[in-house]
């Protein structure tokens, strides 16, 4: 399987902290893989996500994605890279209250100036995959938390980015809603070949992934 992301010996130091937040971390992510990142609070998971998503830069080491050395990108280049190449699912839904669910999911494609017909087709397909096709013309306030998170997941995937980061996506959900989301993510991962890197502290959520990296004190192990 082709590797989509290569992380080579990255370290991250913050001022006034005696120990590195990341300590010589290396791993790769294969195309189409659903990778879980686990660890206690303060283990380096959030720092890793920030560095991989170009929000922060490593102190040392290299990160490459499809032959792009992302740690070398300028601020403007990094913003463009995130816009075109990455999708994000957060613990909070971050849906726009003034837009319908259809419009919320459409936002990434609208920003990329994709034709309206292609947007509608893509949104409908993902809404069906996430079980929210009957909610498309409603506003976020009319949906349950689980439905809103599935809409947020569809929004992250609608532009078919090479890599999707999910940061504790089930953290605000009850067990039934978490299962619905994780099942949909897993099925979408298989059916569409989406590559997902999910940070979680929940062993149940991690059980849906193909492989788990455990973080402790800024270091990782499989």
Decide: 29 and 163 in contact? Cβ < 8 Å.
Answer: yes
Decide: 202 and 24 in contact? Cβ < 8 Å.
Answer: no
Q: Which residue ranges make up each domain of the chain? A: 32-55+74-221
Average pLDDT, the chain: 94
Highest CATH level, class, for 32-55+74-221: alpha beta
The residues, ordered by sequence, that sit 6+ positions from 27 with a Cβ below 8 Å of its Cβ are 7, 213, 220, 222
Q: What is the pLDDT of residues 38-73, one digit of tens each?
A: 988 888 898 999 999 999 999 999 999 988 999 999
At 151 the three-state DSSP class reads helix
**Strands across the sheet with 3-12, in order?**
22-30, 3-12, 60-65, 68-69
CA distances from 116 to 86, 113, 125, 216 (A): 21, 9, 14, 46
Give 27-54 as a DSSP string: EEEETT-EEEEEE-TTSSHHHHHHHHTT
Residue that has been written with the tokens 């502290």 in this structure: 201
Please tell me the pTM assigned to this model.
Answer: 0.93
Which of 1-5, 103-107, 194-198 is the least confident region? 1-5
Q: How confident is the model at residue 138 (pLDDT cuts 50, 70, 90)?
A: very high
User: What H or E segment, with its residue span, contains residue 13?
Assistant: none
User: What DSSP state is assigned to residue 70?
Assistant: G
Phi, psi for 105 (deg, rounded to 5): -65, -30
């Amino acid at each position: 399987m082709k590797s989509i992301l290569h992380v080579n010996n990255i370290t991250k130091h913050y001022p006034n902290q005696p120990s590195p937040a990341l300590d010589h971390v290396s791993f790769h992510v294969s195309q189409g893989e659903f990778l879980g990142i686990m660890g206690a609070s303060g283990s380096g998971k959030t720092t890793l996500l920030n560095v991989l998503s170009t929000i922060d830069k490593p102190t040392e080491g290299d990160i490459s994605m499809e032959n792009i050395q992302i740690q070398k990108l300028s601020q403007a280049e990094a913003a463009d890279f995130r816009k075109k190449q990455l999708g994000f699912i957060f613990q909070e839904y971050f849906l726009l209250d003034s837009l319908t669910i259809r419009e919320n999911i459409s936002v990434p494609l609208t920003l990329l100036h994709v034709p309206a017909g292609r947007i509608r087709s893509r949104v409908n397909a993902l809404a069906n995959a996430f079980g929210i096709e009957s909610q498309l013309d409603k506003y976020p306030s009319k949906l349950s938390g689980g439905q809103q998170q599935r809409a947020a997941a569809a929004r992250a995937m609608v532009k078919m980015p090479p890599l999707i980061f999910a940061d504790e996506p089930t953290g605000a959900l009850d067990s039934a809603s978490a299962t619905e989301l994780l099942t949909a993510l897993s099925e979408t991962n298989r059916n569409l070949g989406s590559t997902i890197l999910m940070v979680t502290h929940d062993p149940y959520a991690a059980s849906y992934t193909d492989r788990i990296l455990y973080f402790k004190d800024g270091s990782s192990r499989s």
